[in-house]
Amino acid sequence: MLWHLCFSILLLLLAPTAIHARPSELQPARSAEDNPSPAFTSVPELQDGFHLLYIQQFGEARKTFNAWESRNPQEPFGQVAIAASYLFEELYRQGVLTSDFFLNEKRFLSGIEGKPDPGRMKSFEDALNRARVLAKQRLQDNPKDPEAYFALTLAAGMESDADMILKKVRLGSLKPLKQANEYAKLLLAQKPAENDAYVALGTANYIIGSLSGGARFFLVFDGVHGDKKLGMQQLEKTVKDGRYLQPFAKILLALAARREKQNDLAQKLLRELSEQFPSSALFAAEYAKSMGRPVPATMGP
C-alpha cells in the first residue's frame, strides 16, 4: 500500500544555510522567552545532530542527540530525535528515500525487499516508547502541551513508516497513521505557524491520494482520506518555513514531484539539497538522476 511513506519521520532538520556552514554557525536560536520548547526553538546542538544525520553520519548524530538528551531528560523531543536517527539510517540503508524506490511501483506499493536490521529496529522502538512516556507525562500536567503533541505526532508517524515500509505490516500501520494525523491537528490548532507538523498531513494526503480506487475506498471507509494535490501543498509549507523537518519535506516533495512528472520542481529541490549538504551521497545522487546524469559509484545508498 502506498501510505507506507508517511513522513518517516524521521526526521529532520533546519532551515536553509550556506553551502558549507553548519546550522548552529548561521542560524540564531529563537528566544526561549518566545517558546522554551526545543521542538519549537532552533536549538544549535539539535540542528547539528540533524545536520550529521543528513550527511549520513548516523553514529555521530546519535552521540549528539544522546548528549543533549542526557542534559534534558524530561524533554520528549530528545527521544524523538534518537528514534528518528535509527529510522532514517534504516530507510537509507534500504534505499527508500530514492527515486529508485519511489518510481518503482512494485517496491513503492509493497515496501522493502527482505527484513530490516533487528537491532536497529529494537533501538528505534525503545526510543519511541520513551518519547511517548515523557509526552504523556507532560499532558498530565498540561492537557494542551504542544511539545507533547509534537512528539506524539512524530512518534506515531515514524511507527507507521516502520510498520509499512520496513516490517510490511500493512493494516497495522493504519492505526498510528490516523493517530499522527489527529495529533498534528491538535498541535496546529494551537500553533498554526509550526510548519514542521505539515509533513505528517502532507505525506499522508499525497500517499493515500495516490492509491487505486478500490484501496482508497477501503481507507475512506475507515476514516482516512487522501488528496495528492493538497498533500504536496502541505509539504510545501514545511519546505518554505520548516525548522527541523524542512530538508526531509524537500526530499519527499522532490520524489513526489518526480512521480508526478513535475521535473522542474524536483530538480530545483534536489539541487538545493545537494548544495545545502554537499557531502551527502543521497542528495548528490538524486540530483544527478533527476538531471539525467550518471551517478558516480561512490554516491549510491
Q: What's the gap between Cα 192 and its chain centre?
A: 19
Q: For all residues of the chain together, what is the average pLDDT?
A: 81
Instruction: Give the range with max mean pLDDT: 110-119, 132-141, 166-175.
Output: 132-141
Cell numbers found for residue 269: 529541490
Instruction: Give the range with max mean pLDDT: 51-55, 172-176, 269-273.
Output: 269-273
List Cα–Cα distances, 126 to 122, 136, 176, in angstroms: 6, 16, 16
The enclosing H or E element of 129 equals: helix 118-141
State the Cα angle at 264 between 10 and 207, rounded to 5°: 40
Helices H, strands E: what count in the chain? 15, 0
Structure confidence at residue 49 (pLDDT)? 94
The pLDDT confidence band at residue 10, using thresholds 50, 70 and 90, is very low
pLDDT digits (tens, 9 = 90+) for 11-54: 333 222 222 333 443 333 333 334 457 888 889 999 999 999 99
Instruction: Give the range with max mean pLDDT: 184-188, 218-222, 271-275, 294-298.
Output: 271-275
> Which of left, alpha, beta for 56 (phi over 0: left; psi -120 to 50: alpha)?
left
Q: Would the CA dihedral through 52, 53, 58, 63 be positive or negative?
A: positive
Contacts of 116 (CB under 8 A, 6+ apart): 90, 94, 162, 166, 167
- The full set of domains in the chain, from first to last, is 2-20+41-299 (1.25.40.10)
Task: Give mean pLDDT, residues 125-132.
Answer: 97
**For residues 183 and 153, is the Cβ–Cβ distance under 8 A?**
yes
Task: Give mean pLDDT, residues 235-250.
Answer: 90
Lowest mean pLDDT among 234-248, 249-263, 286-300: 286-300
Select from 282, 203, 279 the least CA-distant residue to 239.
Answer: 203
**Residue whose cell numbers read 493515500:** 208
